[in-house]
Amino acid sequence: MNWNLFLTELVAGITHGSVYALIALGYSMVYGILKLLNFAHGDVYMVGSFVGFGLVTVFGGSEALSVNVWILLFVMLFCAMLAGGLLGVMIERFAYRRLRAAPRIAPLITALGVSFFLENSAQLILGAQYQSYNSYGWHNGALWASGFTLPSGVHVGLPQVIVVVGAVVLMLGLTVFVRNSQLGKAMRATSFDREAAAMMGIDVDRVIVATFFIGSALAGAAGVFNGLVYQQVWPYMGFQAGLYAFIAAVVGGIGNLPGAVVGGLVIGLAQSFSIGYISSTFSDAIVFAVLIAVMVVRPSGLLGRAAVQKV
Amino acid sequence: MSGMDGGRDINPVPARPDEAQSPRIGVDEWVASHEARRQLGRIQKELERIPRPGFYLAFAIGAAILPLVTSDGYIIRVGFDTLLYMLLALGLNIVVGYAGLLDLGYVAFYGFGAYGYAMLASPKFGLHWSTLAVIPVVIVATAILGFLVALPSRRLLGDYLAIVTLFFGQLFVTVYQNGQAMSFLGFSRQYDVTGGPNGIPAVDNWNAFGATISSLRGYFYAALVVFVIALAAVYLVDESRTGRAWKSLREDPLAAEMMGMPVNRLKLIAFAFGAAIAGLAGTLFAALNTAVFSADFDVPTLIIVYAMLILGGAGSLGGVIIGALVVNVSLEVLRTPDHATWVFYGLLFVTLLVRLRPWRVLATVLGGTIALGYAVHAISSAFWSRGVDGTASVGGWLGGGLQGWVLHPSNPQTIGNVAFVLLVLAVLWVTTLRGWWQKLALIPTLYLTAFVWENRLVVEPSITRLILVGVILIVLMNARPQGLLGSARVEIV
């Protein structure tokens, strides 16, 4: 067995999977509360990625970075999460709020419209070309040179470590928040039964806004993480990543937060192993096969409970 | 919907003396008398007496005359494209409008039909089947494909269908884009199936009974005939038992199931029927363009077809025609900056005319905007000469007027981008205001709109059209979800 290939794909899969998991969390949170597939979520991720790219440029560009990498990373994450969160709140306020009582299909089509609007506005403002974080060039490649080496000579660069650790920290933070804080409890109650929660005195509007803010902030962070490891940013990046994250959320069990993380890893690994072992062009088809298999065998997702429909 | 505010009072006291007699909003009786309560004008009443097929016939005759009055190839081409979009919207109407299923892989069926025609009638595989043989094969194959795609999500909620179909659409593009070297697991022999990024060129023209359609005009009539046949088929199905079952399914799947309707089978039939129409449209597309590329069947096409359906009103056949006509013609108009600018300001003016009442408000807003423009322009030419260096997007008196009113910086890209973001924020802000504050805020927003249009949007027509399609979807869904021709749904609370 070729351990080198196996470990390379494993590392790539986990890194990619962490990014998908962060995006999938936002999908799942919103779905849990509003039962809405927020197609614009992938584009919030794109905006977060561009905010990070803008900061790299502001601090001297990849070749002549004028600040410490850790400070830059902190500023990038903070700004991207803030921008993502605010964008998410605005989308909720102006596009979805009036449609809460509308037939199910209306907010879905609105979400498509928002996604399309954001993608093309980004193209108008930023141009269609690919831009690059070029984290290889930061401080003459010091970032990628550090890290550690696995047996059989697979080097894991520091950015990959940062992404995985950062994603784990954010997910743990989210878990603690949802479990213990008052707002987190209100979120769980709202996702369990919105009307009952409202009757118990929970301000449902506030909970929904908070959900959009947190979910979109995670997508913004995912955008920065993705740029850090995979370099490229472009206006339509959100569509593909959003779709994969979406499938991750469904595979794990939509509306279920640990499920989103598991789904993200499953999809990331399935994608990278099919690229490494089968075919790079048809990794989409493999992921589709995983989706169909999960939907046929376990329609509620790997960690989801069977949906009980209220009559 | 069982809203919290929908419960009945414990101790009902009539608020008005006559309330006890009149039916209450949301109660069955009120819903049942909905039709009678609609206020119809006299013309509308007369129009209501014409049976619906009469309108379709009038449309078909009007469309048939078009190539006779003009010989401009461009106009006929736009007409052909519009008919093609109508056909697509017609198929999508069955899935979305009647059965209420969100099919986001719809254009993949369109592409499948186009590629199917191209494979069976081109030098690619040396097959040159007659069109009369290809069309049934393509229709059946697309219907079966639609059936298979919908199958895994048949026992699940509608949302899962959206995900599966969206991904299926994406998969379609990827596979066809990379289909020039297909190999099967374990075999090293590679087959060129779809031509990959080069597509399939030199597709045959439509031919039947020894005659071949080769002119644009011929294709226009072919598309019209196909559309009318499809429209008739959909109309008949719509009026049939299956059509009624679909609509009851859309309104309330649970109640439909209780009434003994085979819900899953009905969904699958709707899905396959819609897919078949898309496949049929694909054969026309491939034949006229004489080549197929997978990029034509990507998300933008899907969103445009959705915008047509939503604009016209999902579930309405007349809406399909109007929606496709309005959206496609507007998108075409946007291609030339000159026409686009006229249409843009015209639409803006008409919208204000309709929305701002009484006339005092309209006069204040318009006058304020014009005054603001001249003031800004005067200040700019005194202190910031670069701001007036550029030229207007349109000639003639309109261009002359705009030149002296809107700022045209000499290098407007960056400032235009900033203004675009500001404009989006300003429009959102205006929607949150009420009363006079809203009208006052409208003045700078309108001026900003003109500025962004002149300096940024009109320069990038290909992106502007897509942005506008997105805006159409968002605004319509929020303001008038039933579209232009659909009737508002009345729900029992």
CB-based contact (8 Å) between B115 and chain A?
A: no
Contacts of A125 in chain B (CB under 8 A): 417, 420-421
Give the one of B155, B417, B478 whose C-beta lies nearest to A99's C-beta. Answer: B478
pTM score, two decimals? 0.87
A99-153: pLDDT as tens digits: 887 777 788 889 989 999 999 999 999 888 888 888 887 877 777 878 788 777 7
**Residue A129: predicted pLDDT:** 86
Chain A segment 23-82 residues within 8 A of B by beta carbon are 31, 35, 37
More confident residue, B231 or B13: B231
CB-based contact (8 Å) between B460 and chain A?
A: yes
Q: Over 90: is that where the pLDDT of A192 sits? A: no
Q: What is the count of structural domains for chain A? A: 1
Domain B45-333 belongs in CATH node 1.20.272 = no
**Residue A34: predicted pLDDT:** 86
* A162 contact partners, CB below 8 Å, separation of at least 6: A73, A225, A228
Q: Which residue of B has its CA nearest to A35?
A: B159
**Residue B183: predicted pLDDT:** 64
CA distance B204 to chain A (A): 30
Give the one of B167, B431, B464 whose C-beta lies nearest to A243's C-beta. Answer: B167
Q: Cβ A295–B152 below 8 Å, yes or no? A: yes
Using the 8-state DSSP alphabet, how is residue A96 labeled?
Answer: I
Q: Cβ B473–A243 below 8 Å, yes or no? A: no
Q: Cβ B174–A285 below 8 Å, yes or no? A: yes
ipTM of this complex: 0.85
**Nearest-angstrom CA–CA distance, A234 and A236:** 6
Q: Which residue of A has its CA nearest to B5?
A: A195
Q: Cβ B467–A117 below 8 Å, yes or no? A: yes
**Residue B7: predicted pLDDT:** 44
Instruction: Determine the structural domain holding residue A38 and report its residue range.
Output: 7-235
Q: Over 80: is that where the pLDDT of A311 sits? A: no
Q: Over 60: is that where the pLDDT of B491 sits? A: no
**Residue A123: predicted pLDDT:** 92
CA distance B239 to chain A (A): 23
Q: Cβ B175–A239 below 8 Å, yes or no? A: no
B172-199: pLDDT as tens digits: 888 888 877 766 555 666 777 777 778 8
Q: Cβ B170–A35 below 8 Å, yes or no? A: no
Whether A101 maps to a domain, the answer reads: yes
CB-based contact (8 Å) between A7 and chain B?
A: no
Using the 8-state DSSP alphabet, how is residue A255 labeled?
Answer: T
Give the one of B166, B420, B469 whose C-beta lies nearest to A124's C-beta. Answer: B420
Question: Where, residue-wise, is CATH 1.10.3470 in chain B?
Answer: 45-333
Residues B57-84 as b/e (b if ≥16 CB within 10 A, e otherwise) read eebbeebeebbeeeeeeeebebbbbbbb
CB-based contact (8 Å) between B178 and chain A?
A: yes
Q: Cβ A113–B471 below 8 Å, yes or no? A: yes
CA distance B269 to chain A (A): 19
A44-85: pLDDT as tens digits: 999 999 999 999 888 887 777 788 888 889 999 999 999 999
Give the one of A112, A123, A284 whose C-beta lies nearest to B174's C-beta. Answer: A284
Q: Cβ A281–B467 below 8 Å, yes or no? A: no
Q: Cβ B463–A124 below 8 Å, yes or no? A: yes
Contacts of B178 in chain A (CB under 8 A): 281-282
Q: Which of B167, B187, B301, B305 to mutate to test the interface with A (most CBs of A within 10 A)?
A: B167
**Nearest-angstrom CA–CA distance, A64 and B263:** 63
Q: Over 50: is that where the pLDDT of B400 sits? A: yes
